[in-house]
Chain A
Amino acid sequence: MPRVQLSEVTKYFGNKLVLDQVDLSVDLHEVVCLIGASGSGKSTLLRCINRLVKVDYGDIYLDDVAITDSQFGKVGLHKRIGIVFQSYNLFPHLTVLDNLTLAPRKVHGKSKKEAGAAAQEQLDRFGMDSFASAYPEQLSGGQQQRVAFVRALMNRPDVLLLDEVTAALDPELVGEILGIIRELKAQGMTMVIVTHEMGFARDVADRVCFLEGGRILEEGDPTRMFSEPKHERTRAFLDRIIEAGRL
C-alpha cells in the first residue's frame, strides 16, 4: 500500500496548465526526488500534497484516504504531513522556542509546558539547545533552516515534504542540511524532495522523477537515470546541469 498516492492531478494557474494529469505513488519509508527546470511544476506538485495548493482535477490519497476527506478535519492532515520551505519561513517576531510551540499549543491544544518540553527535546536532538531563546534573524541561514526542520517535525509527521530546502543557503552551509535529510532517511521517514542538488538526489533518493511542462517525463532508479537517461529531454536537462558544474 503506497503511503502517498497521486492520481491524475491537474492544476491550472489561470489559463496556464501547471500540472498535467500527474500520477505518482510514494511507498512507506521511500524517498522520492522531484527534479526539473524552474517552472516544470515540481514545487506546485509538492504543495498539492499538503493542500497548500488546491488541485483542479484528480485525487491525492494519504494511506488510501483522500486528503480532502472529512476524517482529517481542519488540522489532521497538517499533523501528518510536514513541509520545509526554501526560505525557511520562520516567524521573525517569535523566538525559536515560540516558533516550535506555536502550532502544538494553538492547533493541537497542548499546554505551554508540555509543548515547551517537547520542543526542547527536539532542539537537543538536533544539537540546537542553545538557540531556544534566540530570534530567527540572529541565526545563520543554515541554523534557521535546521529550526524549520525541527518545526516541521514537532508533530511527528508521517510524510515530510522538502521544497528546495538548500537553494537559499551559502554552499558551505548546504552540508549540514543534507546531513539532517540523510539522518531522517535512516530513521525511515517517507519524504518527497524537490531539489537542484543532483549529486544529493543521486545519493539519497530511492527514486527520481523528472518533470517538464507539468508532467513526469521519466522516473526511475537514480543511478540508472543519471548515467543513462531514457528520455532525450531528461538527457538534455542533465547535460545542462553537468555543464553548470552542479553534478
Chain B
Amino acid sequence: MTNSRLPEQGSAGGANRRPPPPPPGRSFDWREAMAPSLISIVSIVVVFGALAWLITSAEQWPRIKLQFFSVDAMVAAFPRVLQGFWINMRIWLIVLACILVLGIALAVIRSLRAPWFAPFRLMVILYIDLFRGLPVLLLVLLFGFGIPALNLPGMPSSSLFWGSVAMVLSYSAYVCEIYRSGIDAVHEGQWAAAKSLGLTEWQTMIYAILPQAVRNVLPAMMNIVVALQKDVALLSIIGVRDAVREAQIYTASTFNYSSLIVAAGLFLLATIPMARLADYITHRDRVRRLQIGG
C-alpha cells in the first residue's frame, strides 16, 4: 500500500476513506403517522355536521324536505325516470360517435394546405363560425320542431332525430377546433419527414399526423364527452321522454319535485365516474409528456 506514505488527505484519502454512519434511526410512530388523517376526518365531520345541523334546524326545512327529498315520491318516480335516463345514455353514445367522426373530418379538411382545398376550407370556417356562435338550445328548438313541421318527403320526421342532429352539428364545431389544435401541435419536422419520404399531404395527415393529434387532444376531448353526457337533457325541451322529461311529468301531476332530484342523482352517477376517468387520462398524458421531455 503506497497510500500510507502519502500525507493524510481527509475524507478523500484512499484506504482510510469511510462513509459516515447511518443517521440515528427513528422507529415508526403510529401517532405521528395517523395524526394528520385523524385531524382531517375530525374536521370534516365537524364542519359538515355543523352545516347539516344548520340546514335541518331551519324553520322551513320540513317543507323543503317534503318538496325535494320525499322518499315516497322518489320511489314512485324512479322506474319512469330510470327508463328516461336509459334513453339519455343511448342518445349520448350515438350522438358522441357522430360528433367524433364529423369533428375529425372537419378538422382534416380545415388543416390541409393544398390550394384546391380552399373552397372546402372556407366552408368549414363558415360552419364553425355559425354553429359555435348559436346557443345549442336554439338549434335544438329550430331543428327539433322546425324540420319535422316541414314534412320533408323521404326524411325522418321525428323530433328526437332532428334534435340529435342539432346537437351533433353544434358540438362538432367545438370538437373540430379541439382536433385542429391537436393537429397544429404536431411538430413541423413530422411533416418534413413524411414529405421527404414521398408521402402526399393526405397520406401524411392520415398515417403520420392524425394519430399523434388524437393522442394530443384526448384529455380535452374527455371534457367534451362529460359535457355532452348532461347536455343531452336539452332534448327534453322538444318532447323527448328522457330522464328530465319523465321527472317533469311526475312533478306536473303531483307538485312534488323529488323526481327531479332522482334524475339529478342519476346524472351524477354517470358523470362523476366519467370526470374521474378524464382526470386519470389527463394525468397519464402528463406523465407521458414529462417522460419524453426528460
Q: With CB as the reference atom, state the residue of chain A lying closest to B195.
A: A52
Task: List residues of A (69-112) whose CB comes within 8 Å of B's CBs.
Answer: 74-75, 77-79, 82-83, 85, 87, 89-93, 102-103, 106-108
Q: How far is the CA of A151 from the CA of B192 in the complex (A)?
A: 14
Residue of A nearest to B200 (CB): A74
A90 to B187, CA, bound (A): 11
- Are B193 and A89 in contact, with the CB atoms below 8 A? yes
Instruction: Tell me the number of A-to-B contacts counted with CB atoms below 8 Å.
Output: 58
Q: Name the residue in A52, A79, A92 with the highest tally of chain B Cβ atoms < 10 Å from its Cβ.
A: A92
In-complex Cβ contact of A91 among B193, B200, B291 (8 A): B193
B197 at the A interface (CB under 8 A): yes
A10 at interface by CB-CB < 8 Å:
no
A50 contacts B by Cβ under 8 Å: yes
In Å, the complex CA distance between A111 and B212 comes to 25
- Which chain B residues in 53-110 approach chain A with CB under 8 Å? none
Interface of chain B, helix or strand or loop or mixed? helix
* Mask: chain A, 43-64; 1 = CB below 8 Å from B; 0 = not: 0000100101000000000000
Residues on the B chain within 8 Å of A239, using CB = none
CB distance from B188 to the nearest CB of A (A): 9
Q: Does A124 contact B (CB under 8 A)?
A: no
Q: Please give, as numbers and ranges, the residues of chain B lying within 8 Å of A83 by CB-CB distance.
A: 196
- Which one of B127-135, B203-211, B234-242 is at the interface? B203-211
Q: Are A91 and B190 within 8 A (Cβ)?
A: yes
**What per-residue 1/0 map shows which CB atoms of B173-214 lie under 8 Å from chain A?**
000000000000001011011111111100100011001100
* Alpha-carbon distance between A82 and B193 when the two chains are bound, in angstroms: 10
A137: interface (CB < 8 Å): yes
Question: How many residues on chain B are close to A (CB under 8 Å)?
Answer: 20
Whether a CB of chain A sits under 8 angstroms from the CB of B114 is no
Chain A residue at minimum C-beta to C-beta distance from B196: A83
Please state if B212 and A92 are interface contacts (CB–CB under 8 Å): yes
The number of chain A residues with a CB under 8 A from chain B is 26
What residues on A are CB-neighbors of B215 within 8 Å?
A: 93
CB-based contact A106/B199 at 8 Å: yes
Once the chains bind, are B207 and A106 in contact (CB under 8 Å)?
A: yes
> A106 to B203, Cβ gap below 8 A?
yes
Q: Give A47's nearest chain B residue, CB to CB.
A: B192
**0/1 per residue, B230-251, Cβ < 8 Å to A?**
0000000000000000000000
Check if B189 sits within 8 Å of A89, measured CB to CB: yes
Asked if A52 contacts B196 (CB within 8 A), the reply is yes
Which residues of B are found within 8 Å of A78, using beta-carbon distances? 195-198
A87 contact set on B, CB distance < 8 A? 187, 189
Per-residue A-contact encoding for B276-290, CB less than 8 Å = 1, 0 else:
000000000000000
Task: Please give, as numbers and ranges, the residues of chain A lying within 8 Å of B252 by CB-CB distance.
Answer: none
Contact of B192 among A52, A102, A106, A108 (CB under 8 A): A52
Please give, as numbers and ranges, the residues of chain B lying within 8 Å of A77 by CB-CB distance.
Answer: 198
Jot down 8 A-B pairs with beta carbons below 8 A, ordered by A: A52-B192, A77-B198, A78-B195, A87-B187, A91-B193, A102-B197, A106-B207, A151-B197
